[in-house]
């Protein structure tokens, strides 16, 4: 699959790794929500992706800004 000319990744590779890590932790049942993991266990796929992107942002990876609503 060739990339279009002038196209650019929306999410950096580091962000992808961070999301993959969060998904893996969710699958193993060790991903927890909230600050310092004090919340409940994450079961939702969407929530796991959101946590992964949030962690990537904190590390400084290129991730689009959250939509302001």
- Find out whether 47 and 58 touch, Cβ atoms under 8 Å: no
Cβ-Cβ contacts under 8 Å for 57 (sequence gap 6 or more): 63
In this prediction, residues 40-68 reach a mean pLDDT of: 90
Q: End-to-end CA distance of the chain, in Å? A: 35
- Burial class of 17 by CB neighbour count within 10 A (0 to 12, 13 to 18, 19+): middle
Q: What is the pTM of this model?
A: 0.78
Q: Which residue has the higher pLDDT, 39 or 25?
A: 25
Pairwise CA distance, residues 63 & 57, whole Å: 6
Q: What is the pLDDT of residue 60?
A: 92
């Amino acid at each position: 699959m060739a990339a279009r000319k002038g196209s650019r990744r929306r999410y950096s590779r580091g962000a992808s790794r961070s999301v993959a890590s969060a998904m893996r932790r969710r699958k193993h049942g060790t991903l927890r929500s909230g600050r310092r993991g004090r919340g409940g266990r994450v079961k939702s796929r969407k929530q796991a992706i959101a946590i992964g992107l949030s962690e990537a942002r904190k590390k400084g990876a290129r991730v689009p800004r959250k939509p302001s609503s």
